[in-house]
Chain A
């Protein structure tokens, strides 16, 4: 794990082996990646049972679609993380669910340490060398833009949830997000 490039390469090999229906490689892929992907799902869904169900679906998908992964187009973790994030956001679309989320704010299944206010993502980010450019660019955003972008990404908050959380008008929050994203793009374009 010390060398991200080597880890990246190892994960590419495992995905390639999964595409060849190598179930032992799939076991190793799960072992290497499930703590991160489960962390991503828990952070968005905040409920262990939901996150477990999403994780199951995603690994079945990863196994079934491993042959569609292209190492030239994206890093293995980015590809898998996108699958998990998309599934989590789909999950949150289920009817009647939003009511549950709100009423469950202090429920036993919530992991308090994973709350939105959890500090330090930027610190963690800058420690991973692959992510340093992104961390630098996030640090250059205005504080409110940065907060909105990070809450949306890490916690899966929608525009209206962001507005409620930040106690700002919806239109203001949408503008922060949009401008934050475009500035990130400009910044990353110059460092990439």
Chain B
């Protein structure tokens, strides 16, 4: 059929395309035509502009923060992709009723928990060793992983609590530090071992290895971990990483 010589047909198909009732191979053919033929593209745009305002009536649903994390991970590194400000602001607005998310939002907004220079960390008692503590939860807000490291040690202790089960021959949990500074990318802290010994050897003592990261996250990666240096699989768990004095 010669669409282009039949403006009435084009008009009708453009309307049904924008409405969504044009389906299957006909939709694909028409989309191709719109890419190649300016008059068809104009007709589609006109109909999208006519019907588009209907979307105002759709109820807003704030997506889970993992969507933003995944989008960030998919942008080319040149894009400078980790806009932490928007990320954290977003984090503060996720599903009310999600206790862990609210805790994170609260903690991150509280100036007492703002990043402190390493040299200013001082414990209230000589018996207390200053440390880093992270609390990671799943999307429902259930705490699934605790992490702890003495500030002078490079050993990060992990205590899992009913993490999702995986096929360890094919998959692995990878732990990431999420940075605050714009343009910073998440940094791999290591793979979470299975079995009884649940520690990760950090690249340096916690004061160097963790102090830049206000939050940690766990993504599911193929065995051996992410090859790209950024999370490639779904981000399953995340939560704040705080200096315990």
By secondary structure, the A interface counts as helix
Segment of B54-62, B117-125, B153-161, B210-218 engaged in the interface with chain A:
B54-62
Whether B182 lies near A24 (C-beta < 8 A) is: yes
User: Which of B81-89, B101-109, B222-230 is the contact stretch?
Assistant: B81-89
The 0/1 profile, CB within 8 Å of A marked 1, for residues 14-55 of chain B is: 011011110110010001000000000000010011111111
Assuming the A-B contacts A27-B83, A39-B60, A89-B23, are A153 and B12 also in contact, with contact meaning beta carbons closer than 8 angstroms in the complex?
no
Using A23-B75, A60-B75, A81-B52 as known contacts, say yes or no to A177 and B19 having CB atoms under 8 A apart.
yes
Cβ distance A141 to chain B, nearest Cβ, rounded Å: 13
In chain A, positions 26-49 with a C-beta closer than 8 Å to chain B are 26-28, 30-31, 34-36, 38-40, 42-44, 48
A125 contacts partner chain B, Cβ-Cβ < 8 Å: yes
Query: A67 to nearest B CB, angstroms?
Result: 13
A168 contacts chain B at the CB level, 8 A cutoff: no
Flag whether A112 is at the interface (Cβ < 8 A). no
* A188-B23 in contact (CB<8A): no
- A150 pairs with B74, CB closer than 8 A: no
Contact A23 B83 (CB under 8 A): yes
Task: Find chain B residues with CB under 8 A from A156 CB.
Answer: 20
Q: Which of B23, B52, B81 sits near A77, CB closer than 8 Å? A: B52
Contact between chains at A181 and B54 (CB < 8 Å):
no
Q: Which of A52, A74, A75, A85 meets B63, CB within 8 Å?
A: A52
Contact A181-B64, Cβ < 8 Å, known A43-B58, A78-B52? no
The one of B24, B56, B62, B71 that contacts A124, using a Cβ cutoff of 8 Å:
B56
A128–B57 Cα distance when bound, in Å, is: 8
Residues of A within 8 A of B54 (CB): 121, 125, 131, 134, 138, 150, 153-154
In the complex, the chain A residue whose C-beta lies closest to that of B15 is A181
Collect the chain A residues with CB atoms within 8 Å of residue B50's CB: 134, 184-185, 188
Q: Give Cα distance in the complex from A81 to B60, angstroms.
A: 13
Q: A50 within 8 Å of B by Cβ?
A: no
Q: Do B20 and A125 have beta carbons less than 8 Å apart?
A: no
Among A44, A82, A138, the most chain B Cβ lie within 10 Å of the Cβ of: A82
Distance in angstroms from B69 CB to nearest chain A CB is 10
Distance between Cα atoms of A152 and B22 in the complex (Å): 10
In the complex, the answer to whether A27 meets B87 with C-beta atoms within 8 Å is yes
Given A181-B19, A185-B50, answer yes or no on A154-B90 (Cβ-Cβ < 8 Å): no
- Size of interface on A: residues with Cβ below 8 Å to B: 68
A187 to chain B, nearest CB (A): 10
Q: Separation in Å of the A158 CB from the closest CB of chain B? A: 5
Which of chain B's residues have a CB closer than 8 A to the CB of A182? Answer: 15
Which of B15, B62, B75, B182 lies in contact with A34, CB distance below 8 A? B62
In angstroms, how far is the closest chain B Cβ from the Cβ of A89?
6
Residues of A within 8 A of B61 (CB): 35, 38-39, 42, 111
| A178 contacts the other chain (CB 8 A) | yes
Pairwise interchain contact A93-B23, C-beta atoms closer than 8 A: yes
Residues from chain A with a CB closer than 8 A to the CB of B71 are: 30, 56, 59-60, 63
- Scoring A residues 68 to 101 as 1 if CB is less than 8 Å from chain B, else 0, what string do you get? 0000011101100110011001000100000000
Q: Is the CB of B80 closer than 8 A to any CB of chain A? A: yes
B10 to chain A, nearest CB (A): 13
- Report which residue of A30, A42, A113 has the largest number of chain B beta carbons within 10 angstroms of its beta carbon: A30
Q: List 10 A-B contacts (CB under 8 A).
A: A23-B79, A36-B60, A52-B63, A52-B66, A60-B75, A93-B27, A125-B57, A134-B53, A149-B19, A157-B21
Which 4 pairs from chain A and chain B are nearest by CB? A27-B86, A27-B83, A78-B52, A131-B53
Chain A positions within 8 Å of B, measured between CB atoms, are 21, 23-24, 26-28, 30-31, 34-36, 38-40, 42-44, 48, 51-52, 55-56, 59-60, 63, 73-75, 77-78, 81-82, 85-86, 89, 93, 111, 113-114, 118, 120-122, 124-125, 128, 130-131, 133-134, 138, 149-150, 152-154, 156-159, 162, 177-178, 181-182, 184-185, 188
